[in-house]
Amino acid sequence: MTNAKSANHRSRDPSTVQSTIQPTIQPIMQNVDASEIAKFEVLAHRWWDKSSEFKPLHDINPLRANFIDKRSPVAEKKIIDVGCGGGILSEALAQRGAIVTGIDMGDAPLAVAELHALESQLEIEYQKITAEEIAEQREQQYDIVTCLEMLEHVPEPNKVVEACAKLCKPGGHLYFATINRNPKSYLFAILGAEHILGLLPKGTHDYEKLIKPSELHSWLRNANLLLQEATGMTYNPLSKKYKMNPNDLTVNYLLHVIKPD
């Protein structure tokens, strides 16, 4: 990953910057699960603590950022990070010279993301807004759309996929990451990660909301998106390291998709 002070960075003086988090006039309840938002609100202050419950996100973030940057170089590209949380991926992409917008529906994670971006001297636009709503405002405005570890936390993930497709420019790239739904994923992602190894807080994932690759592929086809590549992300409990594994999509998996030109 490039140094945070490289020429590609879009920096700003923290003393002269006003918050870019846009409040909503009314709560947007379509396709938002309040209980899911609440989970991350409670833990938001620990988002950038690499030894906290968010350690797995920090551990896999270089893998994800490298995967994206290799397939669609991000420097000077307009990117929207859907479900940005505290901004871990958003910052990694901005550090590589991308022009980044991060959206989420959690007030506390967005406040943390905004503050950390100031501390990192990175210019990132953060908004409290749903993917569906911003897609109505900014149709076909982004070169790259990322939606990682978010689809399993909304009532209608297919609607988010449709919104992501709408946000992407023709010929642009999209990335989706989520968790498969099968006995192995229940064992590793829920029992193992949440209850045995303590990698995640208990209750982070609801097994019924996990998404099979075949289901996600169907939503992609319905949105006229073309799958380019699929890879798994596997965890070794002995080395405590993650790696990309294109032959194993049984638990965590990441998809590279394009929007036809």
Q: Which phi and psi angles does 183 have, rounded to 5°?
A: -55, -40
Q: Is position 70 within any domain?
A: yes
Q: Is position 148 within any domain?
A: yes
Neighbours of 79 (CB within 10 A): 26
* pTM for this prediction: 0.84
- Please state the domain count of the chain: 1
- Give the domain range for residue 50: 14-258
Q: Is position 166 within any domain?
A: yes
DSSP type of residue 210: -
Q: Is position 27 within any domain?
A: yes
Q: Is position 6 within any domain?
A: no
Q: Is position 171 within any domain?
A: yes
CATH number, domain of 107, equals 3.40.50.150
| pLDDT per residue of the chain (261 residues) written in tens, 0 to 9 | 444 434 444 444 444 434 444 444 344 457 998 887 887 788 788 889 998 878 888 999 999 999 999 999 999 999 999 999 999 999 999 999 999 999 999 999 999 999 999 999 999 999 999 999 999 999 999 999 999 999 999 999 999 999 999 999 999 999 999 999 988 876 766 766 555 555 565 656 677 889 999 999 999 999 999 999 999 998 887 787 889 999 999 999 999 999 999
